[in-house]
Amino acid sequence: MSLTDTAVRNAKPSEKPVKMYDERGLFIIITPAGGKWWRFRYSFGDKEKLLSLGVYPDVSLKEAREKRDEARKLIAQGADPGAERKADKAAVAALTENCFEAVCRKWLADRKDTVEPSQHVKTLARMENDVFPWLGAKAMNEISSPDVLSVLRRIDERGARYTAHRVRSEISRAFRYAIANGKAERDPCPDLKGAIPAPKAEHFAAITTPKEVAGLLRAIDAFQGTFVVKSALLLAPLLFVRPGELRKAEWSGFDLDKAEWRYLVTKTKTEHLVPLAPQAVAILRDLHALTGARRYVFPGRDPQKAMSEAAINAALRRMGYDTKTEITGHGFRAMARTILHEELHIRPEVIEHQLAHAVPDALGTAYNRTKFLKERQTMMHQWADYLGKLKAGAAVVAITRAA
């Protein structure tokens, strides 16, 4: 006899599973826990098989019969409905694994240990806020250049042109990762070159005149903050390294007897050597008494972590400087680059090597940590002496190119 909806609805569980049969292989199992599961029994290739059709009441008797009839049509056409369903599930799974969001998150996870934690967090936030809502569910091979451009224009139109270019680069890197892993065939981003106008260059605020530098150095001397932060402020103009590299400096990289500091450049992951002037060595020896037993030269509130990335700029603001228009932690680099060349007449290539910038030479060598080393050692000593004279208010005579 055929089942009725009333009979299915009123069926009660017992100690063992109970089967209630409908027509043409359809039946329902009532479990001891009260669940009601639709099943379709059929034969294919001389084998008896079962196909799950869902759970009652989510799937009604009428819907279960429709699913049974669809399965019977497949059997009549020589197809196994169970195999068809597995193939469909596999296709859906493959599509899900190959969607932009899944691939992008895998790319971000794989490179997480090779980038700064803050960079990972910021890139993920850009993707979650500006990209995933529109491209996340699309399969990699279905995303076109116009799809990406639509995302970039949405960012650009809110006045974040630099972010639009940054996102374009990050989308492109996600595609290159997908191509390398067989999940995409091409990167649509190169087609968009020039589609979003280039952002206006944004320079870090910096003080670059000797008179203003003298005032800044005296303000640092008078700074009333923690000894660790003041030491970092004193060293920032002497070393002019990137702020992140200074605050994350580790004692293991310093040889104060040789007056050298070695570390990996964050941007290029290449080893860099900073010759230390006697003034810098003196500051570091003084600080070593406090933090020398720890990993970081400038530990933060948590001794196991480096000083906060906001500490230097916060200190500059406490000293009365506007970090947007006057000076930032990064501005010490521009200060040194400008004055070393214009006032001390140091050759640009020597300065650029000390800044750990790529400067290709005739042989194509982009950067060599020991190149111009003697000249850089002399330059760092002269720079420290020059700053000392500026701070003291002495007249400073430009040093000749022979230096």
Q: Per-residue pLDDT for 206 more than 90?
A: no
Residue range 12-27, pLDDT digits in tens: 999 898 999 999 999 9
Average pLDDT, stretch 339-357?
91
Query: DSSP assignment, residue 110?
Result: H
Higher pLDDT, 399 or 32: 32
CB atoms within 10 A of CB 385: 15
pLDDT for 360: 58
Look at residue 357 and tell me if it is in a domain.
yes
Q: Per-residue pLDDT for 150 more than 80?
A: yes
Q: Identify the weakest region by mean pLDDT among 27-41, 108-122, 188-202, 247-261.
A: 188-202
Q: Per-residue pLDDT for 182 more than 70?
A: yes
Task: Choose one of 84, 109, 143: the last residue of a domain.
Answer: 84
Q: Per-residue pLDDT for 402 more than 50?
A: no
DSSP helix/strand/coil, 53: strand
Region at 279 (left for phi over 0; alpha for psi -120 to 50; beta for the rest): alpha
Q: Which element (helix H / strand E) includes 162?
A: helix 161-180
Task: Choose one of 84, 109, 134: the last residue of a domain.
Answer: 84
Q: Identify the weakest region by mean pLDDT among 80-89, 144-153, 335-344.
A: 80-89
Task: Calculate the average pLDDT of the chain.
Answer: 88
Q: Per-residue confidence at 403, pLDDT binned at 50, 70, 90? A: very low
Cα–Cα distance between 255 and 244 in angstroms, integer?
Answer: 20
Query: DSSP assignment, residue 398?
Result: P
Specify the residue for token string 């429709």.
66
With a CB cutoff of 8 Å and minimum separation 6, the contacts of 27 are: 19, 20, 21, 38, 39, 41
One domain for residues 38 and 71: yes
Residue range 226-277, pLDDT digits in tens: 999 999 999 999 999 999 999 999 999 999 999 999 999 877 778 999 999 9
One domain for residues 222 and 154: no
CATH (domain of 39): 3.30.160.390
Residue 366 near residue 359 (C-beta atoms within 8 A): yes
Query: DSSP assignment, residue 113?
Result: G
pLDDT for 269: 77
Look at residue 141 and tell me if it is in a domain.
yes
Q: Record the tokens describing residue 342, joined without a space.
A: 């214009």
pLDDT for 214: 93
* Domain span at 104: 100-192
Instruction: Specify the amino acid at residue 9.
Output: R
One domain for residues 318 and 365: yes
Query: DSSP assignment, residue 58?
Result: T
Number of independent structural domains in the chain: 3
Specify the residue for token string 């960079």.
119
> Minimal CA–CA distance to 356: which of 269, 260, 288?
269
With a CB cutoff of 8 Å and minimum separation 6, the contacts of 190 are: 172
One domain for residues 149 and 56: no
Average pLDDT, stretch 290-306?
94
Q: What are phi and psi of 238, to 5 degrees?
A: -70, -35
Q: Per-residue confidence at 178, pLDDT binned at 50, 70, 90? A: very high
With a CB cutoff of 8 Å and minimum separation 6, the contacts of 401 are: 345, 346, 347
230 alpha carbon, distance to own chain's centre: 30
Q: Per-residue pLDDT for 278 more than 60?
A: yes
Determine whether 76 is exposed, middle or buried from the number of CB atoms within 10 Å of its CB (0-12, 13-18, 19+): exposed
Residue range 387-398, pLDDT digits in tens: 999 999 865 544
According to DSSP, the residues that pair with 30 across neighbouring strands are 18, 36
Cα–Cα distance between 375 and 16 in angstroms, integer?
Answer: 89
CATH (domain of 260): 1.10.443.10
One domain for residues 236 and 265: yes
One domain for residues 358 and 226: yes
With a CB cutoff of 8 Å and minimum separation 6, the contacts of 338 are: 206, 208
3-state secondary structure 183-236: CCCCCCHHHHCCCCCCCCCCCCCCCCCHHHHHHHHHHHHCCCCCHHHHHHHHHH
SS3 content of the chain, % helix, strand, coil (to 5): 50, 10, 35
Q: Identify the weakest region by mean pLDDT among 102-116, 131-145, 181-195, 197-211.
A: 197-211
Q: Per-residue pLDDT for 369 more than 70?
A: no
One domain for residues 165 and 306: no
One domain for residues 234 and 324: yes
Percent of the chain past pLDDT 70, that is, above it, reads 91
Q: Per-residue pLDDT for 90 more than 70?
A: no
Look at residue 370 and tell me if it is in a domain.
yes
Catalytic residues: 242, 267, 330, 333, 357, 367
Residue range 306-340, pLDDT digits in tens: 999 889 999 999 999 988 888 988 999 999 999 99
Detail the DSSP E strand segments found in 86-168: none
Q: Per-residue confidence at 213, pLDDT binned at 50, 70, 90? A: very high
Tally the residues of the chain: 403
Residue 273 near residue 254 (C-beta atoms within 8 A): no
One domain for residues 238 and 374: yes
CATH (domain of 129): 1.10.150.130
Residue 137 near residue 101 (C-beta atoms within 8 A): yes
